Amino acid sequence: MNIINWKTKHQTIKLLGQRVSLIDTVVGEKIILVIHGYGMCSYDYHKVIDDLKFTYRMVIPDLVGFGLSSKPTNYYFSIIEQAEVLVNLLDELKIKEVSIIAQGFGASVLCELLSIISSGFSDIKINKIWLLNMSLSVELSPDKETQDGIVKYINDTFLKISSSFEMFKKYIRKSFHDEKSISDEELSVYWKLLNYDEGLKTLNFIHYWAVEIQQSSTKWLDSIKKTTAPIEIIWGIEASSGDDETPKRINDYLDIEKTHLIENCGYFPMLEKPSIFIDILKGV
Partner 1 sequence: MTAQEWKSYGKFVRINNNDLFVIDTADDTSSKETIVIINGYPSTTYDYHRIIPILSDYYRVIIHDPFGFGFSDLPDTYCFSLMDQANVCIELWRKLNLKNFTILADGHGSKVAKEILYKKNANFISFNIKKLLICNSINNDIYSDLNTITSLIQNKKLVKYKDILMNYKSNHFYQLSEENNKYKDKEKIDRIWRKFNELENQKEALVLCCYNEESYLYWHRWMGALKETNVPVKIFWRKDDLSNIKNILLHIASNHHNNIEIIENKNCFVLDKEPINWLLMVLKELDQSIYHSYKYEFATA
Binding stretches for partner 1 (CB under 8 A): 16, 75-76, 78, 80-81, 84, 88, 116, 119-122, 144, 208, 211-212, 214-216, 218-219, 222
Closer by beta carbon to partner 1, 52 or else 113? 113
CB-wise, 80 or 93, nearer to partner 1?
Answer: 80
User: Is the Cβ–Cβ distance between 267 and 173 less than 8 Å?
Assistant: no
Q: Is 29 helix (H, G, I), strand (E, B) or coil?
A: coil
Nearer to partner 1, 170 or 219 (CB): 219
Q: Indicate the residue among 78 and 259 with the shorter CB distance to partner 1.
A: 78
| Backbone dihedral angles phi then psi of residue 257, each to the nearest 5 degrees | -75, -45
DSSP character string of 105-142? HHHHHHHHHHHHHHTTS--PEEEEEEEETTTTTTTT-S
Q: Identify the bridge partners of residue 226 per DSSP, sorted by sequence position.
A: none
Q: Which is nearer to partner 1, 116 or 278 (CB)?
A: 116
How much of the chain is helix, strand and coil, in % rounded to 5?
Answer: 50, 20, 35
Residue 128 half-sphere exposure toward CB, CA atoms < 13 A: 12
Q: In the complex, what is the shortest distance from the CB of residue 273 to partner 1, in angstroms, rounded to a whole number? A: 36
- Least distance (Å) between residue 210 CB and partner 1: 9
Shortest approach of partner 1 to residue 94 CB, angstroms?
Answer: 15
Burial of 80 (0-12, 13-18, 19+ CB in 10 A): middle
Numbers of helices and strands, H then E, in the chain: 11, 8
We find the least distance from the C-beta atom of residue 77 to partner 1, in angstroms, to be 8
Nearer CB in complex with partner 1: 165/253: 253
If we measure between CA atoms, which residue out of 116, 72, 51 comes closest to residue 90?
A: 116
CB of 65 to partner 1, least distance (A): 13
Torsion angle defined by CA atoms of residues 57, 110, 229 and 241, in that order, rounded to the nearest 10 degrees: 90
- In angstroms, give the least distance from the CB of 220 to partner 1: 10
Q: Kindly tell me which of 61 and 266 has the beta carbon lying closer to partner 1.
A: 61
8 Å CB contact between 118 and 91 = no
Output the smallest distance, CB 12 to partner 1, in A: 19
